[in-house]
Amino acid sequence: MPRLFNLINNDELKQRMLQSDEKRTTLSFYRYHHIDQPEQFRDELYRQWSKLSVFGRVYLATEGINGQISVPDAQFEAFKEALFAIPWLNGVRLNIAVDDDGKSFYKLKIKVRHKIVADGLDDKTFDVTKRGKHLRAEEVNDLMDRPGTLVVDMRNHYESEVGYFEGAIRPDVETFREALPLVEDMLAEDKNKNIIMYCTGGIRCEKASAYYLHKGFQNVFMVDGGIIEYTRQCQEQQLPNKFLGKNFVFDERMGEKIGDTVVSRCHQCGEPCDTHVNCANDACHILFLQCEACAEQYHHCCSQQCSDFVQLPEEERESLRGQVVFNGTKFGKGRYKAFRQSGGSL
């Protein structure tokens, strides 16, 4: 029987993944469904998927499942067969990554949480399964072209900074739970307008659409399958793709190219750039945008302070750890903008 946890060091697992020539496919999926015993379901999935060498991050809750994983190509059909054998997951959409080298995950983690998408809500009358209408890519483009249609990005600010739909409302938030009340206030006078919501793969805007319908909004729509599925349909059907820039993803890739347009800038020098990285100073580790030239200049760090720190002897770094304040200590995820703070204008 497979163990229900990993015993190998994370760094070693990551190196194994990077050095492997095994072809893998990155995908995501979700479904809202009432699960009576998520802990038991977690154990069953872990045993089953470990045998298939599935890697990734999966969240379970009494409200459903949310997974971002990679599967060996040689095991892909066996994985689909096993997944679809679960009655309530039979036929669930698998959002295949748009820009993928198979190096997205290096181990399997399946966690039980209170909710698969943290929303901060404590409303027993809110039913997440009563959602807005799904729109296919062609329908998205058609409705976006109609006067008065509002498009709302339900992702976090560091996601929408590198890519977004034309003319979209992009809330300045770090979490989904922040976005729900903020967007409700922003659209308080627009409850009868056509409102299209979107996110990476659909899971956040599906819950958001159900919430806003619950709050009295009349015409709430969502991009079916999110940015990933929209892009796939545009490619297959040769439709105009109204998404500009890069789609941020929560795995080792940090993002996948949708088109050639770069809509964001390096946080250090202000040159066009859409490459998210974490500061190489582990005591900081802040998420930010950095071009290749600044990566070389600052040793892959977010500031000169962090660059100087990582070049100190290990013993000295350890003695200073916890005593020095870095950007990652002071700012929230993706909040630090060196270029803006130095007087530049993005």
As annotated, the active-site residues are 199
Within 8 A by CB and 6+ apart from 345, the residues are: none
Cα–Cα distance between 288 and 338 in angstroms, integer?
Answer: 9
Cα–Cα distance between 229 and 134 in angstroms, integer?
Answer: 12
Would you tell me how many other CB atoms lie within 10 Å of the CB of residue 240? 9
Burial (0-12, 13-18, 19+ Cβ within 10 Å), 179: buried
Angle at 151 between CA 149 and CA 153, to 5 degrees: 170
Please report, for residues 183, 212, 251, the alpha-carbon distance to residue 342 in angstroms, rounded to integers and kept in the order given. 31, 40, 31
Return the amino acid letter for 234.
C
Q: Are 272 and 265 in contact, with CB atoms under 8 Å apart?
A: yes
Using a CB cutoff of 8 Å and minimum separation of 24, what contacts does 265-272 make? Answer: 265/289, 265/339, 265/346, 266/290, 266/291, 266/294, 266/339, 267/302, 267/336, 267/337, 267/338, 267/339, 267/340, 268/294, 268/298, 268/302, 268/338, 268/339, 269/293, 269/294, 269/339, 270/339, 270/344, 270/346
Token pair in block for residue 116: 């698969």
